[in-house]
Amino acid sequence: MEQEHNSEKPGRRTAGKHEDYKKRLQRIRRKRKGGLYAYGKYAAVGAAALLAAGGILGAVLWMNRGGSGDPAGREMAAAAEGILADGSLATGSAASRIAGDGSGALAAQDAAEEARIQAEKEEALDAYANLGIADVEEFLNVRDAAENGMVIGRLPSGGACDILETEGEWHHIRSGEVEGYVNSQYLLTGEEARERAMEEIEEMAVVTAESVNIRSEPAISYANVVGQAWTGDRYPVVSVEDGWIQVEDGYISADYADVRYALPEASELDQQTLALNQYQNLVISKVSTYLNVRSSPEDQGDRNIIGQLPSYAAGEIIETLDGWYHIRSGGIDGYISSDPQYTAVGQEARDLAYGAMSLMAIVNTERLNVRTEPNTESSIWTQISQEERYHVIQQLDGWVQIELDSAGEGEEIDGAYISIADGNAEVRYTLEEAIRFSPLDEAAGLRSRIANYALQFVGNPYVWGGTSLTNGADCSGFVQSVMRNFGISLPRTSRAQSQVGEAINSSEMQPGDLIFYANSSGTVNHVAMYIGNGQVVHASSARTGIRISNWNYRTPKVIRRVL
Active site residues: 475, 526, 538
SS3 assignment, position 425: strand
Half-sphere exposure of 274 (CA within 13 A, CB side): 17
Dihedral sign, Cα of residue 215, residue 216, residue 217, residue 218: positive
For 260, the enclosing helix (H) or strand (E) is: strand 257-262
Spatial neighbors of 90 by CB under 8 A, at least 6 apart, are 78, 79, 82, 83, 84, 98
Nearest to 131 by CA among 189, 170, 200, 181: 189
Output the DSSP codes for 276-309: HTT-SSEEEE--SSEEEEESSSS--GGGGEEEEE
Instruction: Give the Cα separation of 369 and 181 in Å (integer).
Output: 38
The pair phi, psi for residue 181, each rounded to 5°, is -125, 140
Instruction: Give the Cα separation of 345 and 404 in Å (integer).
Output: 31
Bridge partners, residue 541, by sequence: 545
Dihedral sign, Cα of residue 336, residue 337, residue 340, residue 345: positive
Bridge partners, residue 367, by sequence: 385
Neighbours of 352 (CB within 10 A): 18
Are residues 337 and 321 in contact, defined by beta-carbon separation less than 8 angstroms?
Answer: no
Are residues 487 and 404 in contact, defined by beta-carbon separation less than 8 angstroms?
Answer: no
Amino acid at 64: N
Instruction: Give the Cα separation of 291 and 489 in Å (integer).
Output: 32
Bridge partners, residue 556, by sequence: 517
The pair phi, psi for residue 93, each rounded to 5°, is -65, -35
